[in-house]
Structure 1
């Protein structure tokens, strides 16, 4: 299913996107050495409930997971990259943490992910990996607009990731979003320009470049959800929800400037 939102729905999408951005930035600020992943999940739940919104994850049970997910946020540490299930783990200095959050408010969902380092340690390889996913995300957004094709976005994202030397997995990528979290079209993190669905104003997309340092192969934890690099290498993941407008694309999950 591909949805095209009207102006009223787009206004609600902006509100949802702002909420997702606010929660992620708040959780990032609270994520320190010693913070437990289960505390992050509890904080996410409290903010979602307080806002009168709904989690897209708690009852989520797709074919690729051992559902329902049962938590309010994905917390992926170091070699974990996608669908990280919160568990009893205290963050350590230098951990690379990814927070991935999808929330529905007013009947419209928004989805975003951020990767960052905990504490004061700044391993150069981890910093470079995070920066690469952020640059790839920016490139994908820059390629989006009315008349562009999905392949244009995939090519823009993949060009940045490949230039930095990272293998690219195409099992999981970006997606359409709207009244539900995951919709068509699928947006692979590499592809050929000029191919695929042609973008139209009112379309919402969640773009999410992610990489693993030295492999494109994933393995699944015993929890049935958490996806890790097959080699144990570090990973990073950046995501925004965007709306296609009459003259380009608007980022709905961009944090407010202080």
Structure 2
């Protein structure tokens, strides 16, 4: 069942989402060769707690850490460890926070030092596909419209779209209805209405769309061992239109990226 949020609840969700956004912005300055994902995980837990929230992933479904840390060929749900990142890696950092009874859930794939041009393009296309999907998350459209838009954009650029893992509704629970696949057919699925909040999160592979799971019960890898990218935003429908509750502003500030791509999806600018 889809849970519709009031405007007041959406504002509380924005608070949770922005704590995650600020956490990712803090981590953006720390992602570099030599750092371990476990060190980054501890930084994130401290940061989230210091900002009046609880780590959203820690203990959820018995997950052991604050962050899902998925390097290179790992798609999502990687467990932080003591292996240092190295030059040329990429690392998907997926983070959740719980505040005022609502979750934020937000992800970004970072470059570690200089990465190969084909990897950089994979990240650029995956990030852009997120906004292509968000554009279709509006009243009157359906789940399939978002999935179709992401799939077409991604596959037209030559990449594989993961089928087994999807975005989802978000609210008092980390995972609510509806499921939000990154593939689909236009006009199919649940109809969008005001007050819906979802996490849209394209997961795109450099090669095949097929995946495998490690014996740890969590880590998902590409079947062909090629790189995968993952970006995620929390988005609400307000007055019929998509409004992004999370933001890459803090990541962009840390990395020196100048862009206005999110401006049209925000009711007002976010402060520092």
TM over 0.5, shorter chain: yes
Structure 2 partner of 1:54:
54
Structure 1 position 29, deviation (Å): 1.2
Structure 1 runs of 4+ with >6 Å offset: none
Structure 1 position 209, deviation (Å): 0.5
Residues 1:174 and 2:192 are matched in the alignment: no
Distance 1:256 1:124 in 2: 24
CA separation of 1:177 and 1:58: change in aligned 2, threshold 3 A: same
Structure 1 partner of 2:116:
123
CA separation of 1:256 and 1:124: change in aligned 2, threshold 3 A: closer
CA separation of 1:256 and 1:231: change in aligned 2, threshold 3 A: closer
Structure 1 position 222, deviation (Å): 2.5
Residues 1:114 and 2:108 are matched in the alignment: yes
Residues 1:222 and 2:207 are matched in the alignment: no
Structure 1 position 190, deviation (Å): 0.9
Distance 2:135 2:54 in 1: 30
SS in 1 for 2:184: coil
SS in 2 for 1:30: coil
Structure 2 partner of 1:102:
96
Post-superposition CA distance 1:62-114 (Å, at most 9, x none): xxxxxx11100111111111101101110101101110011111111111110
Contact 2:150 2:183 in 1 (8 A): yes
Post-superposition CA distance 1:119-165 (Å, at most 9, x none): 1x230111111111111101001111111111111111111111011
Distance 1:128 1:256 in 2: 20
Distance 2:128 2:249 in 1: 19
2:75 to 81, 84, 109: 81
Structure 1 position 238, deviation (Å): 0.7
Distance 1:41 1:107 in 2: 23
CA RMSD of aligned residues (A): 1.2
Structure 1 position 230, deviation (Å): 1.2
Distance 1:116 1:41 in 2: 15
Distance 1:234 1:105 in 2: 33
Contact 2:90 2:111 in 1 (8 A): yes
Contact 2:163 2:183 in 1 (8 A): yes
Distance 2:208 2:115 in 1: 22
Distance 1:207 1:161 in 2: 14
Structure 1 partner of 2:200:
207
Contact 2:89 2:112 in 1 (8 A): yes
Q: Gapped runs of 5+ residues in structure 1?
A: 62-67
Contact 2:31 2:110 in 1 (8 A): no
Structure 1 position 213, deviation (Å): 1.3
Q: Following superposition of structure 1 onto structure 2, how do residues 1-258 of structure 1 map, counting pairs within 5 Å?
A: 1-61=1-61, 68-119=62-113, 121-256=114-249, 258=253
SS in 1 for 2:226: coil
TM-score by length of 1: 0.94
Contact 1:18 1:255 in 2 (8 A): no
Distance 2:209 2:78 in 1: 17
TM-score by length of 2: 0.89
